[in-house]
Amino acid sequence: MADGRSFKQRIARWRAKNSLPFSDPRSRTRTSVHSSTALDEANKVPATSSIDGDGSARPGPPAPGGPVAPADLSAIGNGQAASEPSAAPTAAGSEVPRGLQIAASWAWRVLVLAAFVIGIGWLLRYLSEVVVPVAVAILLAAMIGPLTNRLNRLGLPRAAAAGISVVGGLLLIIGALTLIGTQIASQAGVLGSSVTSGFNQLVNWLQNGPLHIGASWFDVSNWGKRIETFLANSQDKIASYASAIGSQVGHFLAGTAIVLFSLFYFLYQGRAIFAFLMKLVPAPSRARVDNAAREGWTSLSHYVRAVVLVALVDAIGVLIAALILGVPLAPALAALVFLGAFVPIIGAFISGCVAVLVALFALGWVEALIMLGCIIVVMQIEGHVLQPFLLGRAVKLHPLAVILAIGIGVIVSGIVGALVAVPVLAFGKTFVQDLNRTAPGQALAGEQFR
């Protein structure tokens, strides 16, 4: 050759320049390589060429895995395998199971939320002398708010309509209490003699019945001495109880004043008060929160009015049964059932048991059983007719949720908690549901929230 190189050396140089492996022309073996010039421009998939020992190339199928780097081409040409991808570095904390990490994340969030709820509960209990009257005023505003709106639409100023509503409701309550007191005073003698007769029958049964309790347990002189001894030894406790009762009476009167003033201003300027509270909510969320609160207030108003109707029907049913049987204090017992019915499911039945006891002492066990049957019938009508049609249309609450809410209310704040628990649940349910489905950007609610 002119340049002093053999043909074989020049072929080897050309193959090295074009990244092709060197092979002996006399060898008939076939080596598959990736050609960088045979890329499919449409799919960017490298083609595979088959090189025979005589230097001719044959097209092959596309190589899987996409284009191959030049370093891999040279490795393939030298008969070496392509480099494997290096293993990913181990993440910090990977020795902790994933499930345990998720559980720990949930745990501390639940603990923080529980601490927040407990703190709010402690604050409400600490301020119960103000919180409870305000809560009662809110429920009364939900009940008589439509009356105030009606009077306002008839032309009365808002302040005058609110004042008439408050005074009218107060006179109604005073009238009901006066009726109950008059009934008790007029039939106290008959009821007292009936209770005495029933107590004597009970004592006779305890002495001569299967228990055979000795007559000394029922000796009036012995009981008198025991009562005198108890009073002499418990003067400090009696004084403390008397002081506590006087303090509670003072708290009750103060709470009544707070209820009346709060009720008036809720009816008069309820919307303005809520608009001020809305300033505590971030501006982008005010429209949604306001709309959800308005829907919750509407649901609460419907619920309270439905409860009033249900309680009225329960009281009328008990009153009719008591009048037919001749049970003393029938109007007073009906009023007691009316007040007890504000605690759903169990309130009317428990207050109706007082009517059964009065019938037992005044008339006998047969009339008491009949009275109990009448109360059960009234409860069935309430549970299967009134609540599905009235309360179900106002707000749908599961019976289990109602029972749990009443139990929590009793634990937190006694009887007042039982009265307030279900209305709070009704408002909260509607508020949360509407807040989840309300679209952002809605306008603020109108005057319906009062």
Domain boundaries defined on the chain: 7-68, 126-194+208-437
Give the Cα separation of 69 and 58 in Å (integer): 22
What type of residue is 203?
A: V
Output the 3-class SS for the chain: CCCCCCHHHHHHHHHHHCCCCCCCCCCCCCEEEEEEEEEECCCCEEEEEEECCCCCEEEECCCCCCCCCHHHHHHHHCCCCCCCCCCCCCCCCCCCCHHHHHHHHHHHHHHHHHHHHHHHHHHHHHCHHHHHHHHHHHHHHHHHHHHHHHHHHCCCCHHHHHHHHHHHHHHHHHHHHHHHHHHHHHCHHHHHHHHHHHHHHHHHHHHHCCCCCCHHHHCHHHHHHHHHHHHHHCHHHHHHHHHHHHHHHHHHHHHHHHHHHHHHHHHHHHHHHHHHHHHHCCHHHHHHHHHHHHHHHHHHHHHHHHHHHHHHHHHHHHHHHHHHHCCCCHHHHHHHHHHHCCCCCCHHHHHHHHHHHHHHHHCCHHHHHHHHHHHHHHHHHHHHHHHHHHHHHHCCCCHHHHHHHHHHHHHHHHHHHHHHHHHHHHHHHHHHHHHHHCCCCCCCCCCCCC
pLDDT of 154 above 80: yes
φ and ψ at residue 366, rounded to 5 degrees = -65, -50
143 versus 83: the higher-pLDDT residue is: 143
Per-residue pLDDT, 195: 67
Give the Cα separation of 271 and 161 in Å (integer): 15
Per-residue pLDDT, 285: 85
What's the pLDDT tens digit per position in 40-69?
A: 444 444 444 444 444 444 555 444 444 444
Per-residue pLDDT, 447: 43
Mean pLDDT of the chain: 75
Q: What is the share, in percent, of the chain residues with pLDDT greater than 90?
A: 9
Give the Cα separation of 305 and 298 in Å (integer): 11
What's the pLDDT tens digit per position in 310-350?
A: 888 888 988 898 889 888 878 888 888 888 887 776 777 88
404 versus 167: the higher-pLDDT residue is: 167
Residues in contact with 193: Cβ distance below 8 Å, sequence separation at least 6, in sequence order: none
Per-residue pLDDT, 37: 44
pLDDT of 139 above 80: yes
Q: Which of the four pLDDT bands, split at 50, 70 and 90, describes residue 201?
A: confident
Per-residue pLDDT, 221: 62
363 versus 226: the higher-pLDDT residue is: 363
Judge whether 348 and 378 are in contact, CB under 8 Å: yes
What's the pLDDT tens digit per position in 382-394?
A: 777 776 676 666 6
What type of residue is 433?
A: Q
Residue reference for tokens 């108890």: 230
Per-residue pLDDT, 157: 92
Q: What is the share, in percent, of the chain residues with pLDDT greater than 70?
A: 69
Q: Which of the four pLDDT bands, split at 50, 70 and 90, describes residue 115?
A: very high
Integer CA distances (angstroms), 241 to 129, 227, 247, in order: 19, 17, 10
What's the pLDDT tens digit per position in 269-310?
A: 888 898 898 888 888 888 888 888 888 888 888 888 888 888
pLDDT of 2 above 60: no
Q: Which two tokens stand for residue 370?
A: 């009949």
What's the pLDDT tens digit per position in 355-382?
A: 888 888 778 788 888 988 988 888 888 7
- What does the pLDDT average to over 387-415? 75
- The model's pTM is 0.62
Integer CA distances (angstroms), 235 to 54, 124, 214, 231, 232, in order: 125, 34, 31, 6, 6
What's the pLDDT tens digit per position in 240-250?
A: 777 778 778 88
Per-residue pLDDT, 405: 83
The two beta strands, 31-40 and 57-60, are unpaired
| Range of 125-129, 233-237, 265-269, 300-304 with top mean pLDDT | 265-269
Q: Which of the four pLDDT bands, split at 50, 70 and 90, describes residue 116?
A: very high
- What does the pLDDT average to over 111-136? 88
Residue 160's closest CA among 233, 38, 264, 9?
264
